[in-house]
A and B are shown apart, each in its own frame.
Chain A
């Protein structure tokens, strides 16, 4: 039986082949993991600044928040638009389209394989952080950890769908990656990667909570670091964004494939 074109055998084959593929690029992935150090730089700024009192994150809570933000980012990085653009340009997309499997599943498996490859490097950086900041060490409860895991994967799903939406525009335009750059900017500033959302003025916060960005870093990071957070509202918003984006992506994708004429045709 196949659900959305998938069964266990296909899932296993996709995941193990993509994981093997990503392991080949482990040096590159280690560097990507290292290039995510921005939350730590911001942490060193925030912890010494006079403005920290207004964050509502006292003592080690701030350290934990930024470490969690780093980890959530590590496991919700999305690069589907770049991979898709390259595949479309080089004509690799055509054989994928013939297969009886939605090509997006291949990219999902690629991302999951990459996350697994990234895991040891991210863990190493986290361990190093605790060596430098031993007082910030904490172990989340099992329930909290599972919730944080789900929240991170939901964040990954939203980010993946958002970028797939842009990737589908590759069928029409060659400027899809430029659009992705425009989408990345609000993500960078409003996701909570550089500053917890509580740092923003209430007017900005009220407006930002209607965008998907706070649910990509801030919400999962707060769940992971054990901050008091409205779980029901956060998960509901995440689910809402997935349910909104999924049909859009599928519709746009179908329209795009109909328009697709392969390279050189």
Chain B
């Protein structure tokens, strides 16, 4: 365990050093993130008006959902996209062989090799927005609520990682379909809005099959104090299930990996 921890610190230390060489990129990223958040808020405001709600959510409450979506979007650009997006390159160029030969777990290596600090600004903005929305909705931040939200955000993070990893791992067979993650990203965009705003069939889809609801709506509901214990338990079960599936699928995929030249 200590070895993995030390390795991770090295990985991210070098990633940070590399990124510091490209400071203009961070500036552009910050600009893009603020534009994107501004546009999303404008779009969200179109659904509201005097006395109008979206799926029973008020403007301030919907801001919390939007904030949590921004957090997860930031998480994808800091952590998931740079790492999982390069699995296909490793497969295509044969460098996955080198990863597999290293005396460290290969899933650990491909999932945590690098990170893009520029995306952290988006995480911070998202947390700020969610906090502001919660404050405006009259949420009282007790330690119990904060811990539950933190746990549910982690549950959401595990679900998102596992879904992304499952899709990225299919590149072991289908090298060309690297953009399958783009389909996932398009569907994840549904998490910008509270799940209650969607028609019933989609609600079911976004809760059980593609559990976007647990990423954004559930943490917001935890803050509002209107979430039931079974739902939290379901979230944890789904997260464990997806993570186990991702792990098992990676092991299965590696058994079918035949290296680039063979």
Contact = CB atoms under 8 A, between A and B. Distances in A.
B55 A48 contact: yes
Interface of A: 25, 27-28, 31-32, 34-38, 41, 44-45, 47-51, 54, 175, 178-179, 181-182, 185-186, 188-189, 194-195, 199-200, 204
Contacts of A195: 43, 46
A126 B189 CA distance: 21
B199 A189 contact: no
Contact of A182 (B32, B55, B178, B197): B32
Contacts of B52: 50-51
B198 A182 contact: no
Contacts of B48: 51
B185 A194 contact: no
A36 B39 contact: no
Contacts of A41: 186-187, 189-190, 202
Choose among A37, A50, A182, A204 the residue with the greatest number of B CB atoms under 10 Å from its CB: A50
Interface of B: 24-25, 28-29, 31-32, 35-36, 39-40, 42-43, 46-49, 52-55, 174, 176-180, 182-183, 185-187, 189-190, 193, 197-199, 202
B39 A185 contact: yes
A164 B174 CA distance: 31
A45 B193 contact: yes
Nearest to A181: B32
A236 B141 CA distance: 56
B53 A185 contact: no
Contact of B47 (A35, A45, A182, A185): A45
Given A27-B177, A28-B177, A178-B28, A35 B185 contact: yes
B176 A28 contact: yes
B155 to A, nearest CB: 23
B39 A178 contact: no
A43 to B, nearest CB: 10
A199 B42 CA distance: 11
Contacts of A25: 176
A38 B40 CA distance: 14
